[in-house]
Structure 1
Amino acid sequence: MRKILLFASITIVGLIFIFRLFYLQVYTAQNHNLFEDNAIKKVYDYPKRGFVYDRNGELLVANQPSYDVMFIPREVKPLDTLEFCSLLKIDKNRFKDIYQKAYHYSPWLPSVFIAHLSKEDYAVLQEKMRKFEGFYIQKRSLRLYQTTIGANVLGDLGEVNNAIIKEHPYYKMGDLIGKQGVEASYEDILRGKKGVKFIQKDRFNRDIGPYKDGVYDTLPEPGKDITISIDSKLQEFGELLMKHKRGGIIAIEPSSGEILAMVSAPSYNPNLLVGRNRSKNYTKMHYDTISKPLYDRSLLAQYPPGSPFKVLNALVGLQEGVVTTDDKFSCRMGYYYNGRRLTGCHSHPSPLSMNDGIAQSCNSYFCNVYRRIIEKYDDPAKGMNVWSNHIKSFGLGNYLGYDLKIGSKGYIPDGAFYDKWYGKGRWSSTYNISNAIGQGEVLATPIQLANMVAAIGNRGYFYTPHIIKNIEGDTIDENYTTPKYTTIDKENFEPVVQGMFDVYNKGTATYLRVPGIDICGKTGTAENYTKIDGVKTQLTDHSIFVAFAPKDNPKIAIAVFVENGYWGSRFAGKIASLMIEKYIKGHITRTDLEDWILSHSLEDEYAKPYSGKPFKINGETTLQVTPIDKSIKSKISNLSD
């Protein structure tokens, strides 16, 4: 019995040892997380980031070598900090701050000590790295911008923070990620995939060679190159025209929805956000709350669309059958209701039909059309909802779904908005008559208006605006190749298109015509208010212009906003005509317009203090900030072009 018990005990113990060895050497090895093993050092091999080309194949963004000084806090040995700091061009306090921050993050994981060494600094430091245990140099690539334009389009790279690392474990402390523009939108495609080498350490924390002879090591996968839809020559020209001005330009190819130019002014050289000076330059621009160079006005700024919005009311009026192209309305320097003038207007022939109403940008005409739309229905809220849905079908009042990370919704009111504001059944179309002329509660971004005019040029449909044109070895999202249709029937577009064509032939943009190009456009002047010390304050009006060309089968649709630009044809109209000619012809013949734009700045306009002299508009106390140009008629309320 004892022999059997002894044999059984030895057998059981032996089986336990065998099972334990199997568990440690086979099972746990299969589930062993090398990235969490402190006895194994991880060295990352960063891939080449994908290049960025413009629509014509011009290289815009490439790469340049960069060297980061890395360290593992627990492995740092006593060193000559004065010599080390001298080599890195930092002071001792900076050394302590970096070390303590990294130690707090993780004493075992690699952290960046100093990023983006130049080739020269790297060469000097490399010779002495053996003296500084726990530190090593890691090579990676930085962006090299082959251009000085398109900073808001191209974006930039910045270091990841703890929040990003927590959400995306792929990234480690010190890694770079796209922060804005194309770099952010197509980060997953451009970045590639890091390779990694696992280095075994002994009990004295010394490297003893590749873990398991490198069987788990991986090679980096380079990022894919992309081609964006921007025409760099057109972008450069647009930025030149917007120099010393604030605002945005969006140009779209109507037949595809591809963004040809996306100008935000003022802008900056994208190379300012590369290398060791990135943080300093970014901070300086971030705190420039006056000119806001980091604020992309082409996508984020929400403006009253002004008179360009009138063409949508013409389309809705035709669709709803409340107006014909032959109906005429009179104008007595404004629109009157019960003997009270609700909106002002400029001098022009009267009465006007739709064609002349568009060409002459008559406020009274469109107030009449707007009232007919809303009052077609017994309940004004229902009329507002019908109107709102038509307008929103052009992409206004919501995010367009383009492939850029930022944007604003704009605003298109509906019946519920006014029910809440005035009370259900306690308002009528005259309460919000300013919507007829693109003022009131209506807000739009430059890209929304460019998309709107592209839909008109296409006679009723548009493609979601997008910046991507081609991805190496891949296809673009079908969302950008599928047409979206408005609620307006195709036949209703022709009279409106003709009216926009006559804006150039006999209307408010006659002197902006470009020989050999049939342009359809619409000038706009939007009132501009802000609050100063709690008082509603009037600033100089915004200059707005939308257009597409040629009239049939358009190649370009454009929206231009120039802040404080006085009226539509003064700044925005000239810029739009020049951009259209530059894109279609490749050169400028209207050099008179070009010379005027390049020689006129609005910097003095932006610097003007308010006069402090109050007056009343529609019963509200208002301060006039800048003098109104003498060529503009006296303002009592909304003024047309």
Structure 2
Amino acid sequence: MKYLEGRKYVIQAIFLAIGAVYLIKLFYIQVLDDSYKTAAESNAMRRVVQYPFRGLVYDRHGALLVENTPVYDLMVVPKEAKAIDTLKFCQLVGLSLPEYREKITAAKKYSYVKPSPFLQRLTNTEFAAIQDNLVDFPGFYINARTVRSYPHSSLAHALGYIGEINPRQLEDTTYRGYRQGDYLGISGLEREYEQYLMGKRGVKYTMVNVRGIEKGSFKDGAYDTLSVAGQNLVTTIDLKLQQYAEKLMEGKIGSVVAIEPSTGEILSLVSAPYYDPSQLTGKELGNNYMKLLRDPVKPLFNRPLMATYPPGSIFKLAQALIAMQEGVLTADTGYPCNWSMVKCSHRHAYPANLGIAIEQSCNPYFYQVFRSVVNKGRSANVYEDAHLGLDIWKKHIQTFGFATQLGVDLPNEKKGMMPNSQFYDKIYGPKGWKYPTIYSVSLGQGETGVTPLQMANFAAIVANRGFFYTPHIVRSVGEKGKPLPEYSVKRYTSVHPRHFPAVVEGMQRVVESGTARYASLSHIGVTICGKTGTVQNPHGKDHSVFIAFAPKENPKIAIAVYVENAGGGAVAAAPMASLMVEKYLTDTIKTAGRKRWENDMITGAFYKWGK
């Protein structure tokens, strides 16, 4: 009995101890800790996300391309937005009652107790008009953030734009950490370098009273975290060259891509028609996007990376290089300009060697060059021989970056297209085709497709005599950053460097005495090497193509210009490329004659030349 009596006192002591703990805690909460008193008086603690400054973007010389401008989001917590004068609120913010109901319903659907954007991207003026009146509308408050702005109206396709994350992305684990109302890169550099540009969000906890008035930070900011700004990007773009290229391409459809051969750095990237990047920022982003999307000339389409065209006669250079590597062509090989094989665009004498054939862009010559690769005699069976030859050719051509993604640091790059034996087997059957069936490939027509970026990269390969660096548009990430390592690796073609000089000499002849005499830069003492192309267009006038590099030795720039429906390569593309090279190397256009050329390119007067 004494044992049970003693246990009773132990149990009573435990309950008394627990009660004492609760009493002490209650005394602490009610008397000693004023934060709870403040919280009780203020009624609510608000968690405000501090959005970081997104990284800035510069050109290669330090010119600012993309910056940040402050805007304001009107946030709402549906649980707190009660007993307000809805009509007065709508008049204040410029909404109709149905619009208000739609937005408040969407906010409740997201969360009844968490804040979500009610009106976004208010300007300084709009913010100033409502800020003093928000005290009358509990549950609504302002959250500051920044949006992109552009000191220059250039480079829209490469820079890209940012937009609000959508519900589908929020469900994707790739976007873990993002929340409704967050912004992220949608296209261009903004998308490709999102992880560097975005920065890190911070959080601020503030106490507010029942009317939504801030009463100060919670616990003197003990639980606040600072936002971390995103990293800046230094691009490879030369802004002056970019602006000049856009001026030349104004009112036209096509592409310009310029690359520094020794590094793979993209100096200029123009997709025409283009648009002002500021159209895809601020409150009108959605409306402007739909206008651009519906425009029949497709200004949102990034032609340098996404448009695939037959390369035309510029492809003859690749045919010659592969044939020399295969041992079926030398620099001194001559072929007659035999029109019974294929017609030639130019009336000329017998091309006694490769240089003359390139200068005159002789179609029958390169018909026979490509045939010597495909029908090399690897098999006694004519069909099997064509199969083997075409597949070997395809392997060579891919080492030049054709029919593959080059790996540029921009989204949505297309591979283009080059045929192999399986491709033709599907169309004609294994014994339904041979060389005469596919000869148009020899001239860069038929079943071929390359992007303007691949064309410019090909010019850089010839300039380097057989290798290239992956084209890229960002030079460094961060204040003391370096290029990403994948853009510092030399990539070699399957063609030995000893075969390139003959092609380079031919390209020099094209400009000095051949199909692109208008592109000569002798007046500034620079030797430019180039090749024209005229791409057949079944839907209208031919497309004008030109690739080039300069100077001949130690090249500083390689370029591809593609102008749709402009006629021969010498008519539009060659003069434009020549003007751009001169502008880049000397920063000016030197002579009155060249300035007249420049005016004809800008105004489109050259279109009359082909008539």
CA displacement, residues 466-506 of structure 1 (integer Å, 9 cap, x when unaligned): 00012223332111011111101000000001101110011
Q: How far apart are the structure 2 equivalents of 1:495 and 1:88?
A: 71
The alpha-carbon deviation at position 7 of structure 1 amounts to 6.7
Task: Give 1:368 shift.
Answer: 0.3
Q: Which whole-Å CA distance do the structure 1 matches of 2:313 and 2:557 have between them?
A: 20
Q: What amino acid is aligned across from residue 2 of structure 1 in structure 2?
A: L
Please, which moves more after superposition, 300-309 or 200-209? 200-209
The AA in structure 2 aligned to 1:250 is: V
Shift of 1:454: 0.3
Out of 89, 95, 98, the position equivalent to 1:93 is 98
How many angstroms does 1:100 deviate by?
Answer: 1.4
CA contact (8 A) 2:137 2:211 kept: no
User: How far apart are 1:389 and its partner, in Å?
Assistant: 1.0
Answer whether contact 1:565 1:571 (CA < 8 A) is retained. yes
Map of 2:88 onto structure 1: 83
Q: Is the 8 A contact 2:441 2:447 kept in 1?
A: yes
Partner of 1:595: 599
Match of 1:158 in 2: 163
Aligned residue runs from structure 1 range 493-512, under 5 A: 493-512=500-519
SS at match of 1:308: helix
Show CA shifts across 1:599-630 (max 9, x none): 2169x99xxxxxxxxxxxxxxxxxxxxxx956
Equivalent-residue separation in structure 1 for 2:577 and 2:584 (angstroms) = 11
- The residue that corresponds to 1:541 in the other structure is 542
- Distance change >3 Å, CA 15–CA 494, structure 1 → 2: farther
Three-state SS of the structure 1 residue aligned to 2:271 is: strand
Q: Which residue of 2 aligns with 1:63?
A: 68
Residues 335 and 363, structure 1, Cα contact 8 Å, conserved in 2: no
1:406 corresponds in structure 2 to 412
The one-letter amino acid of 1:134's match is: G
1:419 aligns with 2:425: yes
2:529 corresponds to 1:523: no
Residue of structure 2 equivalent to 1:478: 485
Partner SS, residue 168 of structure 2 = helix
Shift of 1:225: 1.7
**What is the CA-CA distance between 1:569 and the residue it aligns to?**
0.9
**Aligned with 1:74: secondary structure?**
coil
Could you tell me which residue of structure 2 aligns to residue 585 of structure 1?
586
Amino acid at match of 1:492: H
Matches of 2:80 and 2:344, distance apart in 1: 76
The residue type equivalent to 1:302 in the other structure is T
Structure 1 position 2, deviation (Å): 2.9
* Aligned-partner Cα distance in 1 for 2:96–2:212: 29
Gap change, CA 1:9 and 1:387, over 3 Å in 2: farther
Deviations 1:164-192 (A, max 9, x none): 23332322222221222222222221221
Q: Which of 263, 270, 273 is the aligned partner of 1:266? A: 273
Unaligned 5+ segments in structure 2 are 23-42
Which residue, out of 131, 134, 137, partners 1:129? 134
**C-alpha separation between the residues in 1 aligned to 2:604 and 2:210?**
72
For 2:495, the equivalent position in structure 1 comes to 488
Q: Which residue of 2 aligns with 1:215?
A: 222
Does the C-alpha gap of structure 1 residues 80 and 500 become closer, same or farther in structure 2, counting only changes over 3 Å?
Answer: same
1:113/1:203 CA distance change after superposition, 3 Å? closer
| Equivalent-residue separation in structure 1 for 2:126 and 2:215 (angstroms) | 29
Higher mean alpha-carbon deviation, 482-491 vs 377-386, is at 377-386
**1:344: how far off?**
4.7
Equivalent-residue separation in structure 1 for 2:44 and 2:441 (angstroms): 69
Q: Deviations over 1:89-120 (max 9, x none)?
A: 23222222222122212222221111111111
Q: Which has the higher helix share?
A: 2
- Tell me the C-alpha RMSD between the 2 structures: 2.7
| Identity in percent | 42
**1:105 and 2:79 correspond:** no
Provide the rounded CA distance (Å) in 2 between the counterparts of 1:493 and 1:259: 23
| Counterpart in the other structure of 1:444 | 450
- In structure 1, give the amino acid aligned to 2:556: K
- Structure 1 range deviating more: 260-269 or 209-218: 209-218
Q: Is the 8 A contact 1:560 1:575 kept in 2?
A: yes
Which residue of the partner structure matches residue 564 of structure 1? 565
| 1:49 has 2:54 as partner | yes
2: CA distance between counterparts of 1:397 and 1:460? 18
From the superposition, tell whether residues 231 and 600 of structure 1 become closer, same or farther in structure 2 (CA, over 3 Å). Answer: same
Confirm or deny: 8 A CA contact 1:48 1:192 kept in the other structure. yes
What SS is found at the alignment partner of 2:537? Answer: strand
Contact 2:475 2:482 survives alignment (8 Å) = no
2:19 and 2:271 map into 1 onto residues whose CA distance is 71
Q: SS state of the match for residue 541, structure 2? A: strand
**Native 8 Å contact 1:352 1:365 kept in 2:** no
**For the Cα contact (< 8 Å) 1:244–1:601, is it kept in 2?**
no
In the TM superposition, 1:284-363 aligns within 5 A as 284-288=291-295, 290-332=296-338, 334=339, 336=341, 342-363=342-363
What CA distance in whole angstroms lies between the structure 2 residues aligned with 1:172 and 1:367? 59
Contact persistence 2:519–2:577 (CA under 8 A): no
Q: Distance in 2 between matches of 1:94 and 1:504?
A: 64
Q: How do 1:149-188 and structure 2 match up within 5 A? A: 149-167=154-172, 168-188=175-195
**Counterparts of 2:11 and 2:89 in 1: how far apart (Å)?**
63
Partner of residue 612, structure 1: none
Q: CA deviation at 1:425?
A: 3.9
Q: Which has the larger radius of gyration?
A: 2
Change (3 A) 1:563 1:12: farther
Q: Which amino acid aligns with 1:305?
A: P
Task: Say if 1:427 and 1:206 are closer, same or farther in 2 by CA, change over 3 A.
Answer: same
**1:198 CA drift (Å):** 3.3
Report the CA distance between 1:417 and its aligned residue.
1.4
3-state SS in 1 of match to 2:439 = helix
Q: Is the 8 A contact 1:355 1:499 kept in 2?
A: yes
What corresponds to 2:236 in structure 1?
A: 229
TM-score by length of 2: 0.89
- Report SS of the residue matched to 2:570: coil
CA distance in 2, matches of 1:417, 1:600: 40
Task: Determine if contact 1:309/1:438 at 8 Å carries over to the other structure.
Answer: yes
Deviation sequence 1:555-614 (CA, Å, 0-9, x none): 000111111111111111111111111101110122132021122169x99xxxxxxxxx
Aligned partners of 1:304 and 1:12: how far apart in 2? 89
Tell me how far 1:156 sits from its aligned partner.
1.5
Contact 1:251–1:558 (Cα < 8 Å) also in 2: yes
TM norm structure 1:
0.85
Task: Return the offset for 1:544.
Answer: 0.6
2:375 is aligned with 1:375: yes
Task: From the superposition, tell whether residues 296 and 8 of structure 1 become closer, same or farther in structure 2 (CA, over 3 Å).
Answer: same
The separation in 2 between residues aligned to 1:489 and 1:127, in whole angstroms, is 74
CA distance in 1, matches of 2:215, 2:471: 55
User: In the aligned structure 2, how far is the partner of 1:17 from the partner of 1:331?
Assistant: 108
Amino acid at match of 2:526: I
| Aligned position for 2:32 | none
1:421 Cα deviation after fit: 2.2
**Is there any run of 5+ residues in structure 1 with no aligned partner, and where?**
21-37, 337-341, 530-537, 606-627, 631-641
Q: How far apart, CA to CA, are the structure 1 residues paired with 2:9 and 2:473?
A: 77
Q: Which of 424, 433, 436 is the matching residue for 2:439?
A: 433
Whole-angstrom CA distance in 2 between matches of 1:206 and 1:231: 50
Q: What is the Cα deviation at residue 4 of structure 1? A: 6.5
**Aligned pairs, number:** 575
- Seen in structure 2, the aligned counterparts of structure 1 residues 17 and 224 have a Cα distance that, compared at 3 Å, is farther
